[in-house]
Chain A
Amino acid sequence: MDFVQYLPPLLRGAGLTLVICVAAGVLGSLIGVVLGTAKASPSWIARAISSLYVNFIRGVPILIILLFTYFALPLMLPALTFSRGFTAVVGLSIYSGAYMAEIIRGGIQAVPKGQSEAAEALGMHYFVRLRYVIFPQAMKIAVPPGIGFLIALVKASSLVSVIGFVDLTRAGRIVTTLNQEPLTTFLIVGALYFVISYPISLLGTWYERKLA
């Protein structure tokens, strides 16, 4: 079987997997910074709202979140048109926001309390303290688990194939209907996921070693 002709669609799928992961990773990190800060904040309302979101999303499968964004969200927001790619990014961002929030919260709370107290004693306002004293230290702590989550995100993104977005997994399914060779095809698909995900984990190991 000549596999060369099936490689371009698989690589295209891999490219789209990368694109939605980067988009969802960035959006998820933004959600995570806001909710993670809220979870570590002194305001109980902010803590309650962010905890509700984070705990609920972390207790629901990503597939359910994606099916919800695909089937139910357009019913709730009839004014918007949802393409499959948009749905995929929205679903994955909702998902990664919750995990990133937990990671950022951990980072913020790992910064010694004296840092915040010293900044307060210097007369710095809460947000100034966060921006110049807490965040620079917290982000450094949050990077390794954040990288760990990115790997989970790449793997979870394979589920956008279920709502019909042609990512790497979906491309694999389409190719198998053409060549009738699922074993070889999915071995290649798996290898391509490994090629995306393993360098990220190496990056994490490198960063941790640099930090230590």
Chain B
Amino acid sequence: MKILVGISKSPDTTSKIAFTDGNSKFDENGVQYIVNPYDEWYALVRALELKETIGGTVTIITVGAAADEAVIRKALAIGADEAVRVDADPKDAYYTAAQIADYAKSNGFDLILTGKETIQYNGSQVGGMIAEALDLPFVSLATKLDVDGTTLKLEKEYLGGIQSVEVALPAVVSCAKGMAEQRIPNMRGIMAARTKPLTVIPAVQVEDLTSFTGYTTPPAKSSVKLIDPNNMDELVALLHNEAKVI
């Protein structure tokens, strides 16, 4: 089975989020980049588990600059066979999805996996966009994924509950928590990643559907009002009369 996994870089989850250039750009100063957790922990690891049980190859693809190759090597160290980098600034989800779809179209994959969203844009857009561009079925927010011959059996988050679905391959799936467990790359994996193939391809031209024009950070909370733990009636009264939330 040929599996393609879309990988994005994300700022480390402990990063201080600040902006620069008149609040128009994310301030990368001192920021460590990691593989977006949903792409790595769930999509990539499940792809590797499938490869280990039923055979096949795992290709990762990212849209980004040469500086992102450290993140790509991390994904290779975890166990992907090869990597593709589309040499472009990922302007928005549509741009990114169009690049991945274009590569997938000419290279033929049985299964395309993405994380459910990135932890910086939280858009949940790229997977569904790839599916539409390739006219493939799409299952979002999958928490369990098994392959039975040419059929995918999945569980997905559905409006607070869980839905079981099946779909014939090829298909696109976005992956959420529960699908797999995080893997820590070992020394052998890290060494092997240095020599695994990393192909750089040019971007295809795509219109800009959306752009971010600026950012703001939430206003700081005024100081906390402390309530005596033995006087919960007071808290309830405050929630009712002052905060007006109950």
A, B from the same assembly: no
Q: Residues of A at under 8 Å CB distance from B?
A: none
Q: Residues of B at under 8 Å CB distance from A?
A: none
